Amino acid sequence: MDIVANTLLAAGASPAMIHSLAEIPDFTPQAQALCVNVGTLSPSWVPAMKSAAELMVKLGKPWVLDPVAAGASGFRLNACLALVGVKPTVIRGNGSEIIALSSVSCSIKGVDSAHGSMDALEAAKSLARASGSIVAVSGAVDVVTDGNRVVAAHNGVPMMQKITATGCAVTALIAAFVALDPSHPLEATASALSVFCIAGELGMDLAKGPASLRMHLIDSLYGLDEAALLSRVRITDL
Amino acid sequence: MDIVANTLLAAGASPAMIHSLAEIPDFTPQAQALCVNVGTLSPSWVPAMKSAAELMVKLGKPWVLDPVAAGASGFRLNACLALVGVKPTVIRGNGSEIIALSSVSCSIKGVDSAHGSMDALEAAKSLARASGSIVAVSGAVDVVTDGNRVVAAHNGVPMMQKITATGCAVTALIAAFVALDPSHPLEATASALSVFCIAGELGMDLAKGPASLRMHLIDSLYGLDEAALLSRVRITDL
Amino acid sequence: MDIVANTLLAAGASPAMIHSLAEIPDFTPQAQALCVNVGTLSPSWVPAMKSAAELMVKLGKPWVLDPVAAGASGFRLNACLALVGVKPTVIRGNGSEIIALSSVSCSIKGVDSAHGSMDALEAAKSLARASGSIVAVSGAVDVVTDGNRVVAAHNGVPMMQKITATGCAVTALIAAFVALDPSHPLEATASALSVFCIAGELGMDLAKGPASLRMHLIDSLYGLDEAALLSRVRITDL
């Protein structure tokens, strides 16, 4: 939660972290977007997550799912599948997570042993078509798809994977971007991925390891200007 | 919890974080002060918070309340009001939080749309008189009141608001200060706010963004000496 | 959890944080080692911790216990004792924690008021003999014992105690080291303590306070090479 909240604050968003089912009805309508992250999932959180997501859908507002370690247990996979059923605007995961979700949602089997990027891409397209969500797969190259169109975001540095919860942070940033442009979720998602990864590139110029990269990434995100962004951004259609 | 615990350690205090009702009777008497923070509130925590606060009052020891996002839901507001009923030594919040608490505790209405500092100041004085607590309102200028006397602490830098949980951290620091001087809670509160904000000013001289400010703030708090403190402190009576 | 996960990532391990009993049967068999940390203990976590530990023992895989604040409450002490009964490969705590566990497990009394290193050492040896675990005591000098042999690890800097959860982080690192060399848990434990503390020494050369030490420690751990390690390591038999 720490890096997620600090990422959102650095980007100009206004985060609040809510766990309790009891405050969903009052609090959720005040949010412009919802990010549901199943990271350290507790059973009591699942109804709160589902209720908040359903309320956002009812209000016509965007919500984004981070299916952390979706394939790691049946409990976790079932929770994620129930959430996918509430029609997230965007689902963002790594290759393994998207493949795990896709192979159940779309009745494909046998992909456990091969999580290469093309496998993940096909899984992402299937999941996007089955769920109606934009699906983003993080990796050396991030891919974003609505099931037909596929966009690749090429920024980032490998050391970002050595910082815990950078994936969670970028999913929350996607929620903030989609809040600002809810009618273009694919573009908003690709933009958020690029902006976060460019902050990582700028941070890497100053970093001596993953902990200083974490600091410089957030500082760079806060200080990012349009010129630096435009000179570095690499988004392509696949 | 991370920045809260590290703030306390840097200031020379000895923090412990306890969630469970089951260990309040054994653990709480060992503490010199208690800080109750409703940040990511779960229903099961409320009885533990109330029990710990009641025990501190019974033992004649100070306890401090951080009513995070008090107005964001009925669940949260009710939890905060129940805690205010246990007579916190100090309540520290931002303007909106203090106004939310005050408008219910003191039967004032219609302040939701105007959270300027003078509104918050009147709300703080009302809340202090109704609760018997010292009330502190964080903002561009921090104000501290016992319902009659009002003290303003003028230190700090705006970027501190771009770091998650700096408010939580300073509330915990207030608890540490009040532990050392329980008979002067207003002065202890104003001092804690000043010390934390001066550490922020010193950190800002080295910071390139909110993440490096966070680091330099804690480092500066750890290294703060009396000379630096006295040359910078700005506390005035209002 | 933040510094624990980032420590493991910096060291080349692959952490996952699981709270829920429901996913122990699916997830735990995928882990090469388990670290159980009772830090902010909630009652619902205890059965999950016990179940995960039992499963690791059944699978013949190592697991490590961090009995945080074991003596702070009866609830916490009972939870720790129940976990000790599941035969951890390693128990790592500070002097007070090891003495608290040892005085109950081994029916010794009256050590509450004197937690000097020799008291802790005798407590550690008793606990190791009673539990069958390797017991490590952190302090100015770290000691590791199987009940007979005692090894001392002399690296580290005092300021590491001013960073919250460095103890938790090194316990997790011990789990990672024991995963790689499960048949030599004493040596793996002493090595993990040394490596973490050497990273602290290297970080201290650059640090200006506890927050920058935290950053530089993780960076140094990530960048640690064999030459730096060998020139600094100080492990002796007692």
Which CATH number covers residue B162? 3.40.1190.20
**In the structure, what pLDDT confidence band is assigned to residue A116 with cuts at 50, 70 and 90?**
low
Q: Report the candidate in B187, B201, B233, B170 with the shortest Cα–Cα distance to residue B11.
A: B170
Q: Model confidence over C77-97: pLDDT tens digits? A: 999 999 999 999 999 999 999
Instruction: Inform me whether the pLDDT recorded for A93 exceeds 60.
Output: yes
pLDDT of residue A107: 53
pLDDT of residue A127: 97
Cβ distance of B218 and C208 shorter than 8 Å: no
**Residues in C lying within 8 Å of A, measured between beta carbons:** 1-2, 5-6, 9-10, 15-20, 22-23, 25-27, 30, 44, 214-223
Q: How many CB atoms lie within 10 A of CB C184?
A: 14
Q: How far A113 CA lies from chain C's nearest CA (Å)?
A: 14
Q: How far C205 CA lies from chain A's nearest CA (Å)?
A: 14
| Chain B partners within 8 Å of C76 (Cβ) | 23, 27
Cβ distance of B20 and C41 shorter than 8 Å: yes
**Residues in C lying within 8 Å of B, measured between beta carbons:** 2-3, 39-43, 69, 72-76, 161-165, 207-212, 214-215
Closest residue on chain C to A46 (Cα): C20
| Chain B partners within 8 Å of A214 (Cβ) | 211
| H-only helix segments in chain A | 2-10, 24-27, 45-59, 74-84, 95-105, 117-131, 166-180, 185-204, 210-223, 226-232
Subunits close to A (at least 3 CB pairs below 8 A): B, C
Closest residue on chain B to C161 (Cα): B9
Q: Which of A69, A165, A209 minimises the CB distance to C10?
A: A209
Task: Summarize the confidence of residues B57-81 as an average pLDDT.
Answer: 96
| H-only helix segments in B11-165 | 24-27, 45-58, 74-84, 95-105, 117-131
Q: Which of C10, C16, C30 minimises the CB distance to A210?
A: C10
Instruction: Inform me whether the pLDDT recorded for A203 exceeds 50.
Output: yes
Q: Report the candidate in A41, A51, A52, A65 with the shortest Cα–Cα distance to residue A131.
A: A65
Q: Which of A3, A39, A43 minimises the CB distance to C22?
A: A43
The answer to whether the CB of B61 falls within 8 A of the CB of B182 is yes
Q: The tokens of C152 are what? A: 């001392």
Cα separation, B118 vs A226, whole angstroms: 38
Instruction: Inform me whether the pLDDT recorded for A119 exceeds 90.
Output: no
Instruction: Give the number of beta-carbon pairs within 8 Å between A and C.
Output: 79
Task: Summarize the confidence of residues B104-111 as an average pLDDT.
Answer: 55
Element (H, E) at C92: strand C90-94
**Residues in B lying within 8 Å of C, measured between beta carbons:** 1-2, 5-6, 9-10, 15-20, 22-23, 25-27, 30, 44, 214-223
Task: Summarize the confidence of residues C168-197 as an average pLDDT.
Answer: 98
Task: Summarize the confidence of residues B44-58 as an average pLDDT.
Answer: 97
Cβ-Cβ contacts under 8 Å for B24 (sequence gap 6 or more): B18, B48, B51, B52, B55
**In the structure, what pLDDT confidence band is assigned to residue B31 with cuts at 50, 70 and 90?**
very high
DSSP C66: E
Q: Which of B42, B164, B207 minimises the CB distance to A9?
A: B164
Q: Model confidence over A44-85: pLDDT tens digits? A: 899 999 999 999 999 999 999 999 999 999 999 999 999 999
**In the structure, what pLDDT confidence band is assigned to residue A103 with cuts at 50, 70 and 90?**
confident
Q: Which of A9, A20, A214 minimises the CB distance to B75?
A: A20
Cβ distance of A211 and C22 shorter than 8 Å: no
Q: How far C217 CA lies from chain A's nearest CA (Å)?
A: 8
| Chain B partners within 8 Å of A27 (Cβ) | 72-73, 76
Instruction: Inform me whether the pLDDT recorded for B106 exceeds 50.
Output: yes
Percent of all residues in chain B with a pLDDT value above 90, rounded to a whole number = 91
CA distances from B200 to A50, A219, B191, B229 (A): 39, 16, 14, 12
Q: Which of C17, C30, C223 minimises the CB distance to A209?
A: C223
Q: How far B232 CA lies from chain A's nearest CA (Å)?
A: 26
* A78-82, A102-106, C222-226: least confidently modelled range: A102-106
C82 φ/ψ angles, rounded to the nearest 5 degrees: -60, -40
Q: Report the candidate in A4, A86, A85, A89 with the shortest Cα–Cα distance to residue A40.
A: A4
Cα separation, A163 vs C5, whole angstroms: 8
Cα separation, A132 vs A186, whole angstroms: 12
The answer to whether the CB of B9 falls within 8 A of the CB of B15 is yes
Cα separation, C229 vs C58, whole angstroms: 35
Which residue has tokens 């009772």? C38
The answer to whether the CB of B136 falls within 8 A of the CB of B120 is no
pLDDT of residue C117: 60
| Chain A partners within 8 Å of C18 (Cβ) | 40, 72
**In the structure, what pLDDT confidence band is assigned to residue B107 with cuts at 50, 70 and 90?**
low
Q: Which of C42, C73, C210 minimises the CB distance to B218?
A: C210
Tally of structural domains, chain C: 1
Q: Model confidence over C98-154: pLDDT tens digits? A: 999 998 777 544 333 446 566 799 999 999 999 999 999 999 999 999 999 999 999
Cβ distance of A72 and C222 shorter than 8 Å: no
Structural domain of residue C163, as residue ranges? Answer: 2-237
Exposure b/e, A55-65, CB count within 10 A at least 16 = b: bbbeeebbbbb
Q: Which of C41, C161, C209 minimises the CB distance to B218?
A: C209
Instruction: Give the number of beta-carbon pairs within 8 Å between B and C.
Output: 80
| Chain A partners within 8 Å of C216 (Cβ) | 208, 211-212
| Chain B partners within 8 Å of C207 (Cβ) | 219
**Residues in A lying within 8 Å of B, measured between beta carbons:** 1-2, 5-6, 9-10, 15-20, 22-23, 25-27, 30, 44, 214-223
